[in-house]
Amino acid sequence: MFVTNMNIYKKILDCKKRKKKLFAILIDPDKTDDNSLIQIIKRSNESNIDLFLIGGSLLIKDRIEEFIQTIKSHSDIPVILFPGSTVQLSKQADGILFLSLISGRNPEMLIGNHVIAAPFLKESKLEILPTGYMLIEGGRITSASYMSNTVPIPHDKNDIAVSTAIAGEMLGLKMIYMDAGSGAKKTISNEMIKEVTENINIPLIIGGGIKTEKEAKEKFEAGADIIVVGNGLEENLSLINSISKIIK
């Protein structure tokens, strides 16, 4: 498990070098009530998960600050912002995935929102994690694709995914996050993960649609450095424990 006084990215790189897989829990304040949050934190502490990601495509309830404070009062696991927009920022977190949606062609998601957020982030103590965000078609229109006004990379177009990830690394991004989106009907294919990880040297994050221990194990074996699970916990909170056991 991480500790918050360590540089998050250096720790991720160290784990990648040692081929140690990492497990992150994604918490959407709009979809998580107080009781569920406490249960997630409790299980995460027991299972020594590595990271909490917090954010979502929308922010109706405006509870990010409150959720971060609750997490930090009950856990030492680092909290990283996973912002769907510039309103989802908080200086209370430990870091932020500074996401550039490199799979799309919406200039606001490529650089526009980043310009707006930059002054706030520069003054904060957040660790900035420049990340190439790639939406992959997961069998349905997701909130992420709809809100970002972008078309995901087709599920079977491995060559496009590989070329996009390579370009992201060449642009200087420090990680690649491939996401099938919240509520995806199918996960990112193991073949696509394998081809992408064979062609980049930076850490690869995989999320979207992972609902079983078997799926998580397959993503790790295909080459994912970090697995992110969010929606799957709504149906099966024990996933926190079972996926953690895979890593151990």
Token pair belonging to 131? 């990340």
In terms of Cβ atoms closer than 10 Å to its own Cβ (0-12, 13-18, 19+), residue 127 is: middle
Distance CA 72, CA 66 (A): 10
Give the number of domains in the chain: 1
In terms of Cβ atoms closer than 10 Å to its own Cβ (0-12, 13-18, 19+), residue 8 is: middle
Tell whether 109 is covered by a domain: yes
Beta bridge partners of 153: 136
Contacts of 224 (CB under 8 A, 6+ apart): 21, 193, 197, 204, 205, 206
Q: Residue 4's pLDDT band (boundaries 50, 70, 90)?
A: very low
Q: Over the stretch 138-184, which tens digit does the pLDDT of each residue have? A: 998 888 898 899 999 999 999 999 999 999 999 999 999 999 988 78
Tell whether 150 is covered by a domain: yes
Tell whether 62 is covered by a domain: no
CA 45 to chain centre: 19
Residue 157: closest CA among 182, 191, 187, 180: 191
Tell whether 238 is covered by a domain: yes
| Percent of the chain with pLDDT strictly greater than 70 | 98
Strands 95-101 and 127-135, bridge-based pairing: parallel
Q: What is the pTM of this model?
A: 0.95
The enclosing H or E element of 119 equals helix 113-123
User: Residue 42 is which amino acid?
Assistant: K
Tell whether 138 is covered by a domain: yes
Q: Which domain holds residue 175?
A: 14-20+90-247
Residue 231 is predicted with a pLDDT of 83
Residue 219 is predicted with a pLDDT of 98
Tell whether 180 is covered by a domain: yes
CATH of the domain at 235: 3.20.20.390
Q: What is the mean pLDDT of the chain?
A: 94
Token pair belonging to 121? 């982030």
Distance CA 133, CA 88 (A): 17
Token pair belonging to 43? 């299980």
Tell whether 43 is covered by a domain: no
**Three-state secondary structure call for residue 47:** helix
Tell whether 31 is covered by a domain: no
